[in-house]
Amino acid sequence: MALSERILLGPGPSNPYPEATAGLAAPLLGHLDPEFIKLLDRTCDRLRATWGTTNPVTLPLSGTGSIGMEAAFANTVRPGDVVVVAVNGVFGVRMCEVASRYGAEVIRIDHTWGEPVDVERVLAAHPAPAIVAAVHAETSTGVESDIAALGAALRARSPETLLLADCVTSLAGIPVAIDEWGVDIAYSGTQKCLGVAPGLAPFTFSERAWERRVEVPPVWYLDLSLLGAYVHGTPGSGGRVYHHTAPTAMIASLDAALERIQAEGLDAITDRHRAAGTRLQEGLQEMGLELFAREGHRLPQLTSVRVPEGVDSAKVRERLLNEYDIEIGAGVGELASSIWRIGLMGHNARLDRAELVLAALRRVLE
Ligand code: PLP
């Protein structure tokens, strides 16, 4: 079956960096091959640099972004723990669901969708929760929340509380500084701004979180102690112990993308995302369309735009796909048919992509 070459301008996956595609085609290595272990060590180092952390427990988990969310709660929640979750979109709702499955007493702080997380309200929810969790870049609404401010306020008020940030759509698209912001647990996904196919969840866990981890998590596959014995080696000998058959081709692809990201430089990359997103958002407004997310908190890498009155949202997406090979996203949850989501992530965070989708959309809406 011949597959179409799509231009992936939805909420993810995005088109991978060419280096990531080449990485996938490199000779396949076994997960315990010394050459692969060297590559894995380098990938973890490159992830630390990308996250802005020195956390020893920093690794690519085998699975999509949601496995990062699962690992975050599986390794930290004990039944009855209070977990405050800031909810301003679909992925905050998902965090509530996942945390509650591990027995957390979830306090859900709902925000109007399209608005950023309100630090004061989140802090007022409980004097000393075990965990406070928030989504940095809410892909369902296109909103950025201020994790730095949340971290600073939390440290001043409840130093014992662990801070968990979902960085699935933010890492390598907008600035992320795990150590500086005081984030204890964070996860991402490879298919967004990292510019790799879906399949891995970069994950980082602070030493504070490690001291307070659940020693035997209820999910064997995501037990960070067992994973660490493979990914980072056993204490003392450093030897690697088989845990699961790591997806070596995907890790080689991630490693190649991270090398490319470091060569370009994180500042240049975030500038590139900002320039492309700003152009797209300006162009949509020039067309008379209304942006959904609150001004001043709009993500450059994911733009949410209201479907104009009387326009069939699905039909427009279908025409973009069939006539122009361009994928954009519908809304999710309560916004399913009322917004479109246009992503300019990773390799697609470019002015030419912004102009292309604007021109195609203009044609389809004529
Ligand atoms: N969190 C956010 C903010 C996301 O955007 C996504 C996916 O779009 C996820 C979590 C879940 O990731 P995945 O679909 O890769 O499992």
Q: Rounded to the nearest 5 degrees, what angle is found at the Cα of 161, between the Cα atoms of 220 and 297?
A: 100
User: How far apart, in Å, are the Cα atoms of 124 and each of 133, 150, 288, 315?
Assistant: 14, 12, 39, 44
Ligand 1 atom nearest the C-alpha of 135 is 3
Which ligand 1 atom minimizes the distance to the CA of 167?
3
Q: What is the mean pLDDT of residues 143-166?
A: 97
Confidence grade of residue 234 (pLDDT, cut at 50, 70, 90): confident
pTM for the whole thing? 0.98
* SS3 (DSSP) at 86: strand
Tell which one of 88, 117, 169 to mutate to probe ligand 1, the residue whose CB is within 8 A of the most ligand atoms: 169
Q: Which atom of ligand 1 is nearest to the CA of 11?
A: 8
98 CA to centre of ligand 1 in angstroms: 13
65 Cα–ligand 1 center, Å: 5
**Confidence check: pLDDT of 105 > 90:** yes
How big is the chain, counted in residues?
Answer: 366
Cα 62 to averaged position of ligand 1 atoms, centre (Å): 14
Query: 189 CA distance to ligand 1 centroid (A)?
Result: 7
Could you give the angle at the alpha carbon of 211 between the alpha carbons of 208 and 217, nearest 5°? 115
pLDDT greater than 90 at residue 65: yes
Q: Which of 69, 144, 168 to mutate to test the pocket of ligand 1 (most atoms within 8 A of CB)?
A: 168
Beta-sheet pairing, 57-62 with 82-87: unpaired
| Distance from Cα 25 to the centre of ligand 1, integer Å | 26
ipTM passes above 0.90: yes
CB atoms within 10 A of CB 215: 7
**What is the rounded distance in angstroms from the CA atom of residue 128 to the CA atom of residue 113?**
26
State the Cα–Cα distance between residues 117 and 87, nearest whole angstrom: 8
* Ligand 1 pocket: which of 14, 62, 66, 85 to mutate (most atoms within 8 A of CB): 66
Residue at 83: amino acid letter? V
Residue 225's contacts (CB-CB under 8 Å, 6 or more residues apart) are 213, 215
Report pLDDT digits (tens) over 243-274: 999 999 999 999 999 999 999 999 999 999 99
Residues near ligand 1 (Cβ within 6 A): 11-12, 64-66, 69, 91, 135, 139, 166, 168-169, 189, 198
CA 189 to ligand 1: nearest atom: 15
Q: Determine the atom of ligand 1 nearest the C-alpha atom of 67.
A: 16
**Per-residue model confidence (pLDDT) at position 235:** 77
User: CA 321 to CA 329: how far, in whole Å?
Assistant: 11
Distance, CA 191 to ligand 1 centroid (Å)?
A: 9
Contact indicator for 96, 216 with CB cutoff of 8 Å: no
Per residue in 281-308, pLDDT (tens digit) is 999 999 999 999 999 999 999 999 999 9
Cα 67 to Cα 56, 242, 303: the distances in Å are: 19, 20, 25
Q: Give SS3 for 155.
A: helix
pLDDT digits (tens, 9 = 90+) for 299-357: 999 999 999 999 999 999 999 999 999 999 999 988 999 999 999 999 999 999 999 99
Residue 67 identity: I
174/15 Cα distance (integer angstroms): 18
Q: What rounded mean pLDDT belongs to the chain?
A: 97
341 is in an annotated binding site: yes
Of 128, 222, 132, give the one whose Cα is nearest residue 185.
132
User: Please, is 211 exposed, middle or buried when counting C-beta atoms within 10 Å of its C-beta (0-12, 13-18, 19+)?
Assistant: exposed
Among 69, 96, 139, 170, the mutation site with the greatest number of ligand 1 atoms within 8 A of its Cβ is 139
Point out the ligand 1 atom lying closest to the alpha carbon of residue 89.
3
Distance (Å, whole) CA 252 – CA 232: 17
| 168 CA to centre of ligand 1 in angstroms | 6
pLDDT at 66 over 80: yes
Cis previous bond, 13, omega within 30: yes
Looking up tokens 């997806």 gives 247
